[in-house]
Amino acid sequence: LLEPIDDTVNYAIAVNPADPYTNELVVEKYWKDTGGFVGYDTMTVNLFDSEDDPAEAEGEKQVLLDLHAAQGLEAMMHEAERRAEQHHYLRPERSDPALFRHGPADRFQTLRERELVQVSQPVEVTPESIALDDIQEIVIVPPDDDWFTRQYDFGPSNEPGIDL
C-alpha cells in the first residue's frame, strides 16, 4: 500500500501476471467494508508481453511510484489515468469520471472530474472582456446556384434500366 495509510481508503500499484504470457500493471483501491471485510477494486493501466522484457512493466510501475514520492497521490493517479486512456483501458470521455467503480469516494480528483467541472462552470462574457482583436469581420459569400448540382452530379449510368 502507498504511504501514508488512511482510515477510509488506500491505494497500491502492482504488476500481476494476467496470463502465462502477459503482465498487467494495475492501480488498486482498498477500503474497510461493512462487517470488517476489506473491499477491493482495480484498474488496468497497461499490459506487457512477459516474453519481450519482463522489466518493462516494473519500470513503468517505478515511474508511477517515483511520481507519488515526488508529487503525491493525485499526481500519480493522474498519470495512471493518462496511461490507461492512452492504452485504451479507460475512455477519456466517460460519463462516470471516477477511476474506480466501487468503494468510498477517492482521496483525489481525476482529470475527467476536473474536466467535467470546468465544462459545467458558466462563463460570463461582458463587453469589457472582449478584445477588439478577437472580433472578426463577417464576409457574406453569395451562394453558388450550381453547387448542389455539382456535388450530386453522378453522370450517366451504364447500368440498364436505371433512369437518372
**C-alpha to C-alpha distance for 104 and 11, rounded to whole angstroms:** 12
pLDDT confidence band for 2 (50 / 70 / 90): confident
pLDDT at 87 over 80: yes
Smallest CA-to-CA distance from 81 within 90, 93, 72 is with 90
Express each pLDDT in 131-144 by its tens digit: 655 556 666 666 55
**pLDDT of res. 20:** 86
What integer is the mean pLDDT of 16-20?
87
Contact 22/49 with Cβ under 8 angstroms? Answer: yes
**pLDDT of res. 88:** 92
**pLDDT of res. 146:** 56
Contact 61/67 with Cβ under 8 angstroms? Answer: no
SS3 per residue for the chain: CCCCCCCCEEEEEEEEEEECCEEEEEEEEEEECHHHCEEEEEEEEEEEECCCCHHHHHHHHHHHHHHHHHHCHHHHHHHHHHHHHHCCCCCCCCCCCCCCCCCCCCCCCCHHHHHHHHHHCCCCCCHHHCCHHHCCCCCCCCCCCCHHHHHCCCCCCCCCCCCC
* Average pLDDT score, the chain: 80
Instruction: Choose between 127 and 4: higher pLDDT.
Output: 4
Q: What percent of the chain has pLDDT over 90?
A: 38
- Single-letter code of the amino acid located at 102: H
Q: Give the range among 73-82, 107-116, 127-136 with minimum mean pLDDT.
A: 127-136
pLDDT at 107 over 90: no
Task: Specify the pTM.
Answer: 0.67
**pLDDT of res. 38:** 92
Express each pLDDT in 19-72 by its tens digit: 888 999 999 999 998 888 999 999 999 999 877 777 888 999 999 999 999 999
Contact 45/62 with Cβ under 8 angstroms? Answer: no
Smallest CA-to-CA distance from 79 within 65, 93, 59 is with 65
